[in-house]
Amino acid sequence: MAAAGRLRGRRPGLTGTNGMIQDTQNIEHTNISLPDPRTLDYLRALLGFATVTRGPNLDLIDWVRGQLDAHGIAARVIRDDTGTKANLHAWVGPQGVPGIMLSGHTDVVPAEGQDWTVPPHAATERDGRVYGRGAADMKGFVACALAALVRARGLPLKRPLHLALSYDEEIGCVGVRRMLDALAAAPVRPSLCIVGEPTSMDVALGHKGKMALRAVCTGRAGHSALAPKALSAIHLACDFVDGLRGMQAELRQGGAQDADYEIPYSTVHVGCMHGGTALNIVPDRCTLDLEIRHLAGDDPAGLLARLAGHAERIAAAQRERFPEAGIALETVNAYPGLDTRPDDDAVGFVQALLPPGARRFKVAFGTEGGLFRQALDVPVVVCGPGSMDQGHKPDEYVTLAQLRACDDFLARLTATLAA
């Protein structure tokens, strides 16, 4: 990203952040024998669980808990209301003092309809890569984090290392919210959260916030032979979409700008339209699923108010003839953006644990990082193995080199907790 250079800065010794971060200037950046054999074993197992988002993940969570139990690592499972899926919070090291949280999600996007050449829910290793749904996004990081937790169990840690695994991240960071409620109630919170989404082991400092919305358009049904006597809800929806395109043009030209993003302005996108039952019936209902991905400089409540005003103007123009005309907006899901300052001590801490040349940038995709920042009031960075260029695609993979780099980074991280 061309603008990433503006976020680069000095690589300071690490001080501050609730006294947790220590000087890492003397940590050597030499490769250890990586990937850790445990990392590969864990990744092979994790890829075998078809934890497609919205579906259950308890088999994976139970397996993870079993691995942790075998090493004497404490963990708690936080289930959802259905009892079919759960978060997991594990930790090693002393309690009562701030530590570092590693965060990852266990769900993956569906593989159906994609042209895979390898089994999607299994590990296939070839040419220095591990293929499988979730290899990059983000079971590669989860495997590295589990191996790091096991290694840390044998160290004389002065500060704890935490691991948070959540469910249904891919549909709006749903599961992690229940775990954050529990973490926020704890007497001591972590000093730093590292979200392990794939960044090619560079340091991502920000992402846009997101609002997922549904617009329900109501018209009047009728026979298509008498269409002018009815009000097509699909026509209302099309008028609404046309207005959204105008709003997008305004945001592009006159809205907040952040050149550190590939798309430097807030965006409005319609993903689905559903309406009508037969060609000869004027439909009285049509729904639109849309989203706003907003910069920190654009108030999401203000953007939503603009959409609601636009919807009301369209419907109001029809109410003299059709009193039932309406376009109702519903917020389905929302999560905040992330905007960590480049000069935050936590950023310097993380970057000092990476090889020289690791860049600082912002990612286009969302994470649970903004929720951690909001709920726990802790600095958050995003750093993990693999690239989102491979995520959500057929034959998704993570390279062994990226797994080695992540293992190396986490080994240095745990060394600072024992220093």
Q: In the beta sheet, which residues pair with residue 335?
A: 210
The DSSP 8-state label assigned to residue 238 in this structure reads H
Any idea of the CA torsion for 347, 3, 142, 29, to the nearest 10 degrees?
A: -60
Q: Which of 137, 168, 169, 395 is catalytic?
A: 169
Q: Which of 36, 107, 258, 298 is catalytic?
A: 107
Residues present in the chain in total = 419
HSE-up of residue 333 (Cα within 13 Å, Cβ side): 18
Angle CA 155–161–164, to nearest 5: 140
C-alpha distances (whole Å) from 197 to each of 20, 73, 104, 182, 281 are 23, 24, 7, 23, 47
Ranges of beta strands (E only) in 261-367 are 267-275, 281-282, 285-294, 326-335, 338-339, 360-362
Which amino acid would we find at residue 214? R
Task: List the structure tokens of 123.
Answer: 């590990």
Residue appearing with tokens 């907003």: 294
- Residue 191 near residue 160, CB atoms below 8 Å: no
**3 state SS of 359:** coil
Angle CA 192–42–175, to nearest 5: 50
Residue 169 bears catalytic tag: yes
**3 state SS of 415:** helix
Nearest to 331 by CA among 212, 218, 216: 212
- Residue 295 near residue 289, CB atoms below 8 Å: no
Compute the distance between CA of residue 339 and CA of residue 316 in angstroms, rounded to an integer. Answer: 39
Q: Report the b/e string of 186-208 with b at 16+ CB within 10 A.
A: eeebbbbbbbbbbbbbbbbbbbb
The residues annotated with a catalytic role in the active site are: 107, 169
